[in-house]
Structure 1
């Protein structure tokens, strides 16, 4: 077990009426190019959405983290986080895997630890955060479809998950569970100084521990824009299959429109065809 006596989160039953998506605001505020300046052999990097990512084929899964922990063995572990969150159940599974590690777990919030990623961050025996870093906590949110009985069942299903998260946050911060629940109800954002003040982090990261990979940021810009649109559409209640079909159709239309535009630009870029 980890050095701290961390509370376990039990989330075994997947609600039949719910679908989990990354938080729209977190996706918009996430800077995917933020990374660690140096990573060691016992470092686990969580620098993507939590769970398998439909749009990029990437994402950080509990299976991947468990494999990394097995490879590291009984050594201290550093976990670097810059993630807008994502799949709640994958986040819980990663939290529990880190919680069960027999040696010290140091979590470094190098950019953003939002939603499910903030749950993962709480698995650290020590939590460090960049001065420009952020931590965001909120209630798990869902899309529920059906009559009033289905909606009431969805609310009842989520209550134990929110209660478990409130226990984790309150245990870390040393506050009453009601206070942690209040933070969650308000979808609270903590900057580095506020996270330290409230007890959700232990110390600041040194400035030279954080770097920015501009090439990575540029490479994922288009994917991140699609994620943001998808997250916003999810907030309207549009089903996942309909959203993704619509975005795929839009992408195809944009590709078709851009082809003649590129040909026109290439045509007019030839010296003999330029206007005097």
Structure 2
């Protein structure tokens, strides 16, 4: 790398906690985060992200020596680094604490300088207000901390819950411990340019550096890069266990496999033994199948105890047995209870259609009967013709009205005109009409 060129000078009125330098060749750049992160300490992440986007390079060397700062500025910087086309190699030169600890999670490779440290802790803030406002702020911090714990878990292994517990304890990791925990990949480089003691902000943390802090939490098992892939034997045994569990949940265990299923459920395979952290890649051999599993497989497959078979031959016999047992199992249909009639779908649908037709016919029959009852009542002089519709509706809403209608005396309503038979409409003279109605001439 030749003499560095500053991409953009620091603003005179603000503290510049970062700087970016490119090589004259333009193929790589160094990005330094040296100081507290965010507008509280000087410029905010907006300017950082804009300057980063201007870097048209193939590789970025991210150098970090920071006590952290704004959570959201840190998240924005982390995501901007992830989006950048360049390969990002992060080097912790002194301290990557708080927000700086998850900014480096964006790198393709994380290196720890000798004597460098990483610190993780729960998010915190200054707040004031009433009880409800403070409760909301606490929930907000809890949500942020859970999200950050997920970042560590994605990089280093373990669960988000385990990393959250480590954050609550404010965990400090030395360079070696950071590599062992999976927070970094290797220890490299010369003596760090900065030290933990250079930051007065460290005093606000629970512990003043790794030497003052207890041993940090470590995720179970070896570093993700050093975890061996499952051996062929373990994979086959696990596959057998998965197949048996699926078969059991679907239609019950096939005959003769209960003991094998129990053996596999109790000990599906021999877990990988924890491996010490290392910066070099070692070739790992396959795990040995446990004696318990081998004995259970031989018994269920029918291999005599005295027979001498290789692992490959045992696996071949297992595959053959599984293939035989995988044949479709006829579903067990329970016999219907006494008095129950079983219909197929077509017959059931036909029965429903006929029932609907019968119901419609019955409704028409009842409507016709009500109409006939009302007509009989009109013809008998029990009700006037103008009340037909009223009585039809009354009988439909209350069948008990049938008895009321039947109890009415016949002839209550005249069926023929009485007295003058000519009808009032036969005379057009007013006097004549009056005399027809009242039997007396109309007085003038």
State TM-score, norm by structure 2. Answer: 0.38
Q: Does 1:71 align with 2:58?
A: no
Q: Which runs of 4+ in 1 moved over 4 A?
A: 38-41
SS at match of 1:181: helix
Q: 2:38 aligned with 1:51, yes or no?
A: yes
Go from structure 1 to structure 2 and tell me whether the alpha carbon gap of 1:205 and 1:65 turns closer, same or farther (over 3 Å shift): farther
2:193 is aligned to 211
* C-alpha separation in 2, matches of 1:39 and 1:118: 24
Greater shift, 139-148 or 125-134, is seen at 139-148
Distance change in 2, residues 1:91/1:194 (3 Å) = same
1:147 aligns with: 130
SS at match of 2:158: coil
Higher strand share: 1
1:115 CA displacement? 0.4
Q: 1:202 aligns with which of 167, 180, 185?
A: 185
Deviation at 1:53, TM superposition (A): 4.4
Aligned residues: 182
Question: Deviations along 1:89-121, whole A, 9 cap, x unmatched?
Answer: 111111111111122111100000000111111
Alignment gaps of 5+ in structure 2: 1-16, 206-444
* Stretches of structure 1 lacking an aligned partner (at least 5 in a row): 1-31, 33-37, 233-276
Query: Any conservation in 2 of the 1:111–1:134 contact (CA below 8 Å)?
Result: yes
Q: Report matched runs for 1:89-100 at 5 Å.
A: 89-100=72-83
2: CA distance, partners of 1:80 / 1:48: 11
Task: Tell me the distance in 2 between the aligned counterparts of 1:39 and 1:135.
Answer: 27
Report which structure shows greater RCO (CA 8 Å, sep ≥6). Answer: 1
Cα distance, 1:181 vs structure 2: 0.8
The 8 Å contact of residues 130 and 204 in structure 1, kept in 2 or not, is answered as yes
Q: Identify the match of residue 113 of structure 2 among 130, 141, 160.
A: 130
Paired with 1:49 and 1:206, the residues of 2 have a C-alpha distance of 23
Question: Please, which moves more after superposition, 131-140 or 149-158?
Answer: 149-158
Cα distance 1:53–1:158, how it changes in 2: closer, same or farther (>3 A)? closer
Residue 273 of structure 1 corresponds to none
Q: Equivalents in 1 of 2:49, 2:136: separation in Å?
A: 32
Report the aligned-residue RMSD: 2.8
SS in 2 for 1:206: coil
**Whole-angstrom distance in 2 between the partners of 1:50 and 1:212:** 16
Q: Conserved in 2, the CA contact under 8 Å of 1:66 and 1:97? A: yes
Cα distance change of structure 1 residues 196 and 69 upon mapping to structure 2, 3 Å threshold: same
Shift of 1:212: 5.6
Residues 223-276 of structure 1: CA distance to partner in whole angstroms, max 9, x if unpaired? x65x678x59xxxxxxxxxxxxxxxxxxxxxxxxxxxxxxxxxxxxxxxxxxxx
Relative to the length of structure 1, the TM-score reads 0.59
Corresponding residue number in structure 2 for 1:113:
96
CA distance in 2, matches of 1:99, 1:114: 19
Aligned counterpart, 2:408: none
SS class of match (1:42): strand
Structure 2 contact 37–74 (Cα < 8 Å) conserved: yes
Please point out which of 92, 99, 103 is paired with 2:86: 103
Contact 2:39 2:45 in 1 (8 A): no
Inter-partner Cα distance in structure 1 for 2:188 and 2:52: 23
* Deviation for aligned residue 1:74: 4.5
Distance between the aligned counterparts of 1:65 and 1:146, measured in 2?
33
